[in-house]
Amino acid sequence: MEPEYDFSQGKRGAIQSTPPGKTRITIRLDDEILTWFRDQVNAAGGGNYQTLINDASHEYIQQRREPLEEILRRVLREELDRIRK
């Protein structure tokens, strides 16, 4: 490092704190998955692909939690509505 640089009065830059209810992690995703989410954000005109991955994960969990009986009832209602129209 050059001797004329003096960092003795330097201050560390702002560190983004993690919001409550969020955990910062490192995750490895397939390139195809990451590309798809980034493409979706770009097609929507911008945003954050990480938020989109988080939203998709929430949706998947919700679908897995829904009991089979509820899924069948929902599907039957949708089909009956479609037939009636």
Report the pLDDT value the prediction gives residue 6, as an integer from 0 to 100: 84
| Assigned domain for 26 exists | no
Residue 45 placed within a domain: yes
CA 22 remoteness from chain centre = 12
Element (DSSP H or E) covering residue 35: helix 31-43
pLDDT for 80 beyond 60: yes
Q: What pLDDT is recorded for position 31? A: 97
Considering the domain boundaries, does residue 3 fall inside one?
Answer: no
* 39 found inside a domain: yes
Range with the lowest mean pLDDT among 18-22, 29-33, 34-38, 50-54?
18-22
Residue pair 54/37 in contact by the 8 Å Cβ criterion: no
- Stretch 54-79: mean pLDDT, rounded? 90
> Is a pLDDT exceeding 90 seen at residue 40?
yes
The answer to whether residue 1 sits within a structural domain is no
The domain in which residue 77 lies consists of 31-84
pTM for the complete prediction? 0.59
What is the tally of structural domains in the chain?
A: 1
Average pLDDT of the chain?
89
CA-CA distances (angstroms) from residue 73 to 50, 60, 69, 77, 84? 33, 19, 6, 6, 16
Q: Would 76 be classed as within a structural domain?
A: yes
